[in-house]
Structure 1
Amino acid sequence: MKITIIKPGLLSTVQDMGRYRYLSQAVPVSGAMDELAHRLANKAVGNDDHCATIEFTYADASFKAETSILISYSGDGAFLVYQGELMPAEKPLFFSAGSVIKLISNPIGARTYLAVAGGWNVPDVMESKSTYLTAGFGGYKGRALQKADVLVGGPNLNEISNKILKQLVERSLIYPNWCISRNSLLPVKKREIRVVLANEICWFDATSILSFLTNAYTVNLRSNRMGYQLTGKPLVRKVTKELLSTAVTPGTIQVTGSGDLVMLMADCQTTGGYPRIAQVAAVDLPLCAQLKPGDTIEFAEISRDEAEELYLEREHDLLLITKVINLKYTQI
Structure 2
Amino acid sequence: MKVKILKPGILSTVQDLGRNFYRAQGIPSAGAMDSLSMRLANLSLANAIDAAVIEITYADVLLEAETDLLIAYSGGGSILYASDQVLPDNRPLFVPAGQNLAFRHHSSGSRTYLAIAGGWDVPIVLGSKSTYITGRFGGLMGRALKKQDSLKNANNLTTSTLRLLSHLKSTKISFPNWSIDKEHFMPLDKRMIRIVPGKEFTWFRADSLLNFLSASYTLSRDCNRMGYRFEGPLLQRSSQIELLSTAVAPGTVQVTHDGSLVLLMSDGQTTGGYPRIAQIAQVDLPLCGQLKPGDSIQFSAISRIEAEKLYMNRENELKKLAVALNMII
Give the TM-score category using the shorter length. over 0.9
Q: Distance in 1 between matches of 2:86 and 2:238?
A: 53
What residue in structure 1 maps to residue 174 of structure 2? 174
Q: How do 1:62-211 and structure 2 match up within 5 A? A: 62-169=62-169, 174-211=174-211
User: How far did 1:172 drift?
Assistant: 6.4
Please give the per-residue CA displacement for 1:20-50, whole angstroms capped at 9, x wherever unaligned.
1111100000000000000000010110011
What residue in structure 1 maps to residue 15 of structure 2? 15
Q: Distance in 2 between matches of 1:126 and 1:156?
A: 20
Q: Distance in 2 between matches of 1:97 and 1:105?
A: 24
What residue in structure 2 maps to residue 42 of structure 1? 42
User: How far did 1:156 drift?
Assistant: 2.6
Alignment-mate amino acid for residue 123 of structure 2: P
Q: Distance in 2 between matches of 1:187 and 1:123?
A: 35
Question: Do the aligned partners of 2:44 and 2:72 also contact (CA within 8 Å) in 1?
Answer: yes
Alignment-mate amino acid for residue 59 of structure 1: A
Alignment-mate amino acid for residue 4 of structure 1: K
Please give the per-residue CA displacement for 1:255-314, whole angstroms capped at 9, x wherever unaligned.
001100001100011111000001100111111000001111110111111111110110
Please give the per-residue CA displacement for 1:98-121, whole angstroms capped at 9, x wherever unaligned.
010000110110000000000000
Please give the per-residue CA displacement for 1:204-249, whole angstroms capped at 9, x wherever unaligned.
0101100100011110101100100011111000120210111111
Q: Distance in 1 between matches of 2:23 and 2:279?
A: 18
What residue in structure 2 maps to residue 266 of structure 1? 266
- Same amino acid, percent of matched pairs: 51
Q: Distance in 2 between matches of 1:155 and 1:193?
A: 39
Structure 2 segments unaligned to the other structure (5+ residues): none
Q: Distance in 1 between matches of 2:21 and 2:290?
A: 26
The alignment's C-alpha RMSD in Å is 1.0
User: How far did 1:89 drift?
Assistant: 0.5
Please give the per-residue CA displacement for 1:107-150, whole angstroms capped at 9, x wherever unaligned.
11000000000000000010100000111110011000000000
Question: Do the aligned partners of 2:95 and 2:172 also contact (CA within 8 Å) in 1?
Answer: no
Q: Distance in 1 between matches of 2:12 and 2:271?
A: 27
Q: Distance in 1 between matches of 2:66 and 2:300?
A: 47
User: How far did 1:173 drift?
Assistant: 5.8
Q: Distance in 2 between matches of 1:82 and 1:139?
A: 26
Q: How do 1:225-304 and structure 2 match up within 5 A? A: 225-304=225-304
User: How far did 1:327 drift?
Assistant: 1.5
Alignment-mate amino acid for residue 36 of structure 1: L
Please give the per-residue CA displacement for 1:68-94, whole angstroms capped at 9, x wherever unaligned.
000000000000001201111100000
**TM-score normalised by length of structure 2:** 0.98
Distance 1:108 1:170, change over 3 A: closer
What residue in structure 2 maps to residue 25 of structure 1? 25
Structure 1 segments unaligned to the other structure (5+ residues): none
What residue in structure 1 maps to residue 313 of structure 2? 313
Question: Do the aligned partners of 2:251 and 2:264 also contact (CA within 8 Å) in 1?
Answer: yes
User: How far did 1:171 drift?
Assistant: 9.7
Q: Distance in 1 between matches of 2:196 and 2:230?
A: 18
Q: State the 4+ residue runs in structure 1 displaced beyond 6 angstroms.
A: none
User: What SS does the aligned partner of 1:285 have?
Assistant: helix
Q: Distance in 2 between matches of 1:86 and 1:194?
A: 34
Q: Distance in 2 between matches of 1:173 and 1:234?
A: 52
